[in-house]
Structure 1
Amino acid sequence: MAIVLGVSTPFAIPWAMHPGIVRRIGVLLCANHVLLWLPLYAEVSSEEQARVRELGWEKSQFMIPTRDGIRLYTEIYRPLQSSERLPILFTRTPYGVNVAATNLASMLTNQLKELVADGYIFARQDIRGKFKSEGQFVMMRPPRRPGLEAVDESTDTYDTIEWLVNNVPNNNGRVGLFGTSYLGWTTVMGILSPHPALRAACEEASPADMFLGDDFHHNGAFRLSYAYEYAYSLETAKTNVPVSFDRYDAYEWYLQLGSLANVNRRMLQGKIPTWNDYLSHPNYDAFWQRQAVAPYLTNVSVPILHVAGWWDQEDFYGPLKIYETLEPHDRAHQNHLVAGPWDPGIMAAGTAAKAANWAT
């Protein structure tokens, strides 16, 4: 089922873009479950908890164990005023989940306000190797090969959902995944081998193939500034480190760089794995093909909403390709697409209706 929006909407989060889809997907997140609450990380400071409580929430933070023993830092926000059991909305990110109370207030009252009104518990997780999570970060970690006892973003998602539904108070045993861009990609990874408690997913601007159409290459053309700065930011440290140029004009810096080999000679010294992959795989070889998600999309077992933006210069290809690949396998009509005049930033900020107001 494909939907191209033609109405003005409160662009809080794309699940709120089409009420029919929202309600059909949201209704799947209702049930009852009994569970146990186990602290696995330092308690939230009293000052921070007080600020969060002023917003009507309780914050908890945990190191959730995965099947290979690595623990993933996860923050959980539960509404204080709800007495009923609620579904969990789960997001996994490489950008750091810890946010100040002022930023949390903005999220809850802007881009998440419709979901807050519907009633959810929110769980946010640093993916493996980033920020407070343990393990080694691998950029766009390829799905594990069948039969191997390896880990990937799918297994980490499965293990975390297993922990959440058995340990978070007052959840109803049902979980939804959502996210934009890299967070959209982790959402797609979560549906490859979904946990039984995963009842719905929404990926916004997820990459599908980093050589053919998304981010690092566009139709095979290497995007130098984007690829260098992104790899540097995510792989220099566990936290994300912005690139610093020694001159005002970054274009001039790249112009004077010379050969791509100079990046390692002068700056990176071979320490950034993704940059090394760019140099080692300039063509569409097995490396890029294994990282592409389409070959793994062979089943639609979870209702999923794909969101694509006509103004998205990075990942317009991704959600369309993911939707197209899943559509022949969608016997139960659970595969949905929304496309319209926005970019990923507008999706996240909840401001497109004001910025565009393109139709009424």
Structure 2
Amino acid sequence: MQRETANARPDFSELQASLRDKIRTLVRMVLHSISNKEAVLIQRRVLCAILAIYAVVLTAPHGVRAQQSYAVITQNGVPMKTRDGVTLYSDIYRPKADGKFPVILMRTPYDKSVGWAAAPAYQIATHGYVVVVQDVRGRYTSEGDWYPFRHESNDGYDTIEWAAALPSSNGKVGMMGGSYVGATQMLSAIAHPPHLAGICPVVTASNYHDGWTYQGGALEQWFDQNWTTQLATNTMWRWIAKNTNALLGAPVLPLTHYPTFNYASLPAGPDATAQLAPYYLDWLAHPDYDGYWKQWSIEEHFSDIQIPALHIGGWYDIFLAGTLRNYMGIKAHGATDEARKGQRLLVQIGGHAGFGRRIGDVEFGDEAIKFPNTDVVIDWYDYLFKGAQNEFATDKSSTTGQPVRIFVMGANTYRQESDWPPPVAKPTRYFLHSGGSANSLRGDGGLSLTPPKKETPDKFMYDPANPMPTIGGRGLAVLRRGALRAGPARPARC
């Protein structure tokens, strides 16, 4: 099915530069005047209108970017076959125009048709790209059995080469997306498909054992069970659809019985896990970093990656360490000079569920929303595939165009660096200290540069049946993340 959508997005670059300061001043004036209670209702309406304009202007495209805009044609459910005969389905967004365009691929286990996948795909297509959004093997519309990580290298390779041969493709393929969608990029890259020319992994890991399934040797139970449960929902519905025969139904009145499904065959208890999430049992069976994990660990394959990459992370993201390791690892060990010199790193203020000006209890200001992710992806591929001289064009003689850009908390502004870690940074060792009650509600623990000598050890009783909640820090969307007020949610058990 094809759908044509007209696009009329204006170029905000000059408007953004001329209006930003005026709008900020006007917002401050309105906020200051709201102390007059009789005018609050009117002022709130005016403020909402101002903030709406403010949001459009401040999130407008930035940098030097190709200005031509295209209407978009959408093709839904386009099939392709993998090397082992499994059919995967994609939605394709392409410019309504003659000619050939670069391809940007997103491979997702979370449903290719949802808004967070479709909206950026459409936006990027208006800028002169063919965007392919695909359900990975065993998920939603695609055939096959779902098993995390196992098929992504081969399926990614096959999809990239298929996408490069699409009628509107110019043969250059890039990838985008975050979390597991970022993992599909890394796992595709280690297979080095000939037409993959760049990737843009966001908030993703470098090792699916430590840093994903386990943390410091301990099973990351809350993450593993939450993620597995979410994934198993679609697996269950696929199982039901496969084992349901509507022809067995017998309409009766009153409508109290529909024998369309053999409920006795539904898996239950431990069998349900084996049926719906067998990989979870494999994770438990491999607590150590063994061959099971090494086969698809990116850290074991940095030297196989041949292409440039823009790595985007968040200071409060659960996979931050992996984002940094991916940048450093490919830069040091990439298979080609292009790969080693072509790594870029952007670390924003944000967590796994997105980026924003407020994380946890802390407001980080306007700079925190300076780089909307979709705009960054467009700029990256405009530079990589179209030769745009924007912020990604490295110029060692100036502070602009450096390969690393980080958000500096406290100063609440972005800073560019020549590398990560910054050359001026010095590792500093801090030591845990306690006055004997660091494990209490109002604990007296602290960090110090001085090594501890003789201090009373603190003890903590952990009960898996009654776990303490995680408060703040680097987390996932299901938890409050970021900088929160210090202190546990309830008294510790000592």
Q: What TM-score comes out, normalization by structure 1 length?
A: 0.65
Instruction: Identify which of 71, 80, 83 aligns with 2:98.
Output: 83
- Residue 240 to residue 346, structure 1, CA distance change in 2 (3 Å): farther
Report the equivalent of 2:344: 336
Of 132, 144, 149, which residue of structure 2 is paired with 1:140? 149
State the alpha-carbon separation in 1 of the partners of residues 273 and 156 from structure 2.
33
Asked if 1:131 corresponds to 2:140, the answer is: yes
Measure the CA separation in 2 of the matches of 1:322 and 1:104.
Answer: 24
Cα pair 2:74 2:91 within 8 Å, conserved? no
2:274 aligns to what?
A: 270
Deviations 1:32-74 (A, max 9, x none): xxxxxxxxxxxxxxxxxxxxxxx74332432201111111111
**Distance verdict in 2 for CA 1:174–1:134, change over 3 Å:** same
Q: Displacement, 1:107? A: 3.4
Q: Deviations over 1:226-253 (max 9, x none)?
A: 2112112223543789xxxxxxxxxxxx
- In structure 1, how many angstroms separate the alpha carbons of the residues matched to 2:280 and 2:118? 37
| 220, 236, 257: which one aligns with 2:217 | 220
Matched length: 273
What residue identity is the alignment partner of 1:302? I
Of 217-226 and 229-238, the range deviating more from structure 2: 229-238
1:181 matched residue in structure 2:
179
Task: Note closer, same or farther for the CA distance 1:85–1:311 as it changes in structure 2 (3 Å cut).
Answer: same
The residue type paired with residue 343 of structure 2 is N
Residues 195 and 290 (structure 1), Cα distance of their counterparts in 2 relative to 1, 3 Å cut: closer
Q: Which residue of 2 aligns with 1:295?
A: 300
Deviation, 1:304, is: 1.1
Q: Which moved more, 1:314-323 or 1:227-236?
A: 227-236
Query: 5 Å matches for 1:128-277?
Result: 128-141=137-150, 152-166=151-165, 168-214=166-212, 216-238=213-235, 265=269, 268=272, 270-271=274-275, 272-277=277-282
- 1:269 and 1:83 map into 2 onto residues whose CA distance is 50
Return the alpha-carbon distance in structure 2 between the equivalents of residues 316 and 185 of structure 1: 13
Higher relative contact order (CA 8 A, sep 6+): 1
Displacement of 1:117 after TM fit?
5.0
In the alignment, the residues of structure 2 paired with residue 105 and residue 131 of structure 1 have an alpha-carbon distance, to the nearest angstrom, of: 15
Tell me the secondary structure at the aligned position of residue 341 of structure 1. strand
Distance apart, 1:288 and its partner CA? 2.9
Q: CA deviation at 1:177?
A: 1.0
Partner in structure 1 of residue 320 of structure 2: 316
Contact 2:93 2:125 in 1 (8 A): no
**How many Å apart are 1:354 and its aligned residue?**
5.8
Q: 1:345 to 1:161 in 2, by over 3 A?
A: same
1:267 deviates by 8.1
On the 8 A contact 2:104/2:176 being kept in 1, the answer is yes
Q: Matched residues in 2 for 1:187 and 1:132: separation?
A: 20
- Confirm or deny that 1:356 pairs with 2:334: no
Q: Partner residue of 1:40? A: none
Cα distance change of structure 1 residues 353 and 163 upon mapping to structure 2, 3 Å threshold: farther
1:106 offset after TM fit, Å? 4.3
The residue identity in structure 1 corresponding to 2:108 is T
Check whether the contact 1:305–1:335 (CA below 8 A) recurs between aligned residues: yes
The 3 A distance-change label for structure 1 pair 347 and 59 is: farther
Q: What residue number does 1:245 align with?
A: none
For the residue of structure 2 that corresponds to 1:310, the secondary structure is strand
- Is 1:304 aligned to residue 309 of structure 2? yes
With the length of structure 2 as denominator, give the TM-score of the two structures. 0.49
Is the 8 Å Cα contact of residues 171 and 195 (structure 2) preserved in structure 1?
yes
Evaluate the alpha carbon distance shift between residue 336 and residue 356 of structure 1 in structure 2; reply closer, same or farther with a 3 A threshold: closer
RMSD over aligned Cα atoms: 3.6
Task: For residue 132 of structure 1, give the secondary structure of its aligned residue in structure 2.
Answer: coil
Q: 1:266 to 1:337 in 2, by over 3 A?
A: same
User: 2: CA distance between counterparts of 1:191 and 1:353?
Assistant: 36
- After superposition, the Cα gap between the structure-2 partners of 1:355 and 1:238, relative to the gap in structure 1 and judged at 3 Å, is farther
Deviation for aligned residue 1:19: 5.1
**Cross-structure match for 2:29:** none
Checking the alignment, whether the CA contact within 8 Å between 1:76 and 1:122 is kept in structure 2 is: yes
> Aligned-pair distance for 1:217?
2.1
> Which residue number corresponds to residue 30 of structure 1?
none
